[in-house]
Amino acid sequence: MSCRVVVGAQWGDEGKGKIVDLLSEEADVVARYQGGPNAGHTVVVGDQTFILHLIPSGILRPNTICYIGNGVVVDCDALRHERDTLLKQGVRVDGRLFVSMSAHIILPDHRALEQLTEGGPESVRIGTTGRGIGPAYTDKAGRVGLRVADLLDPGIREERVRRLRERAVHLLGPDAPLEPFEAVLARCAKDDALLRPMAVNVSHAVDAAMRGGKRVLLEGAQGTHLDLDHGTYPYVTSSSAIAGGACTGVGIGPTRITDVIGVAKAYATRVGNGPFPSELEGELAAKLREEGNEYGATTGRPRRCGWFDVVAIRHAVRVNGLTQLVITKLDVLDAMPEIKIVVEYEIGNRRVSEMPESLAELNAARPICEAFSGWRAPTTTARQWDDLPREARRYLDRVEELAGVPIRLVSVGSGRDENVRRSVNRPEAQPVGR
């Protein structure tokens, strides 16, 4: 039995979709534990590209059972569209995809509330996707949300939707352009037909799988520095994106987890507003963005780009308890004449090696970097550690040394087989994809 967690070690968009797909080859069960359709996992299989928002990346492996956990907020229109798209692409979904009875539902009113917030002054915008994720989590925390189990009970459904409508009118005003109440109820009836065949107790299902000796993989969305508690608050997501969120997000105890795999790009990116100490500007940032195709899979928004930030990674190692690190998009750096790693921040007259919790200090932080010669050679054909250019290995060795966690896999392209594996010396760390 194994239960592995895959978590983003930066600000999301680290390439977790590809890594979960790779790990899913040896997993019987894959469960998504938090977030909503604001996530975008891109997986390339042969000449096909799959973009997943709610459905776990394990769905692309024909023998894997997939669950959407209670920690996820579900937009039924998005789920329906995603399922139908996968079916058109030849992926069998029915009988393999299940949704927690305790997962909360995103309603049209939630989208209206979020769009109002994000339409305000720039100084108060978080930079969300406007899909209603934040308000849905707000209602969940306020104990007035609509769960899958509630949606499947017509009596509870109508009473809960009515109460949520009253809240929305109170917040937005009586003239707010909300979808007619009866139309929302009709949507819910349609969603009942979608969810009823999928609705299960995910906690029981995952527990039974582990007791039966099955291999379980828990998939996170976003990244550590967007975590509600441990990210760059308030410029964060509305759920627990760290590894601890995997326990509450599917309903298992922490003692069941056997491995925590952190995924990080060979550089850093961030979407939306908020502090980003390693951010680059001008031509260099544009070059990274174009080479890495750094545009959101969900929104298409250009991502902010910066150097690899070890201060941020050490924070991720600690709060997630990472047992190994996966580095993605190394090939994006192939043409760079010089590459840098942020090793400390300078804040006023101080040098710090840990991320401050103060937003003011994070905004004031200036990166202190180590510079490395670029390798100026393609890495996409490398499959073994020694296939990588010497300068690339030197760069990765330094990242590993500074992070304090072993690197077991390096992705050098978007394809399933474009990876470099590293041998494992410690028996407790099972390598990625082995």
Tell me the pairing of strands 259-265 and 2-8.
parallel
Handedness of CA 301, 304, 308, 311 (dihedral sign): negative
Question: Which residue in the list 13, 139, 191, 309 is annotated as catalytic?
Answer: 13
Q: Residue 434 in 3-state DSSP? A: coil
Task: Tell whether 265 is in a known binding site.
Answer: no
* DSSP letters for 309-342: EHHHHHHHHHHHT-SEEEEE-GGGGTT-SEEEEE
Q: Find all residues with CB under 8 Å of 204, minimum gap 6, and list them.
A: none
Task: Tell whether 155 is in a known binding site.
Answer: no
66 CB neighbour count, 10 Å cutoff: 24
Task: Tell whether 195 is in a known binding site.
Answer: no
Task: Tell whether 312 is in a known binding site.
Answer: no
Whose CA is closest to 419, among 99, 22, 113, 106?
Answer: 22
Task: Tell whether 396 is in a known binding site.
Answer: no
Task: Tell whether 303 is in a known binding site.
Answer: yes
Tell me the pairing of strands 41-45 and 48-52.
antiparallel
Task: Tell whether 41 is in a known binding site.
Answer: yes
Task: Tell whether 220 is in a known binding site.
Answer: no
Task: Tell whether 13 is in a known binding site.
Answer: yes
Task: Tell whether 28 is in a known binding site.
Answer: no
Amino acid letter for position 297: A
Task: Tell whether 94 is in a known binding site.
Answer: no
Task: Tell whether 298 is in a known binding site.
Answer: yes
Tell me the pairing of strands 324-328 and 350-352.
unpaired
Indicate if 387 belongs to the active site: no
Task: Tell whether 190 is in a known binding site.
Answer: no
d(CA 222, CA 367): 23
Task: Tell whether 109 is in a known binding site.
Answer: no
Task: Tell whether 323 is in a known binding site.
Answer: no
Question: Which residue in the list 28, 41, 53, 227 is annotated as catalytic?
Answer: 41
Question: Which residue in the list 53, 104, 110, 140 is annotated as catalytic?
Answer: 140
Task: Tell whether 412 is in a known binding site.
Answer: yes
Q: Find all residues with CB under 8 Å of 143, minimum gap 6, and list them.
A: none
Task: Tell whether 255 is in a known binding site.
Answer: no
d(CA 251, CA 105): 18
Q: For residue 121, how far is the Cα from the chain centroid?
A: 27
Burial of 299 (0-12, 13-18, 19+ CB in 10 A): middle
124 CB neighbour count, 10 Å cutoff: 10
d(CA 306, CA 267): 6
Task: Tell whether 300 is in a known binding site.
Answer: yes
Indicate if 41 belongs to the active site: yes
Task: Tell whether 12 is in a known binding site.
Answer: yes
Q: How far is CA 429 from CA 2, 200, 255, 322, 422, in A?
A: 12, 32, 16, 10, 12
Which helix (H) or strand (E) segment holds residue 403: the answer is: helix 390-403
Task: Tell whether 340 is in a known binding site.
Answer: no
Task: Tell whether 203 is in a known binding site.
Answer: no
Indicate if 140 belongs to the active site: yes
Contact 280, 305 (CB under 8 A): yes
d(CA 392, CA 375): 6
Task: Tell whether 103 is in a known binding site.
Answer: no
Instruction: Please report, in range form, the residues annotated as the binding site for substrate.
Output: 297-303
- Binding-site annotation: residue ranges: 12-18, 38-42, 129, 143, 222, 237, 297-303, 329-331, 411-413
What residues are annotated to the active site? 13, 41, 140
| Residues annotated within a binding site for IMP | 13-16, 38-41, 129, 143, 222, 237, 301
List the binding residues for Mg(2+).
13, 40
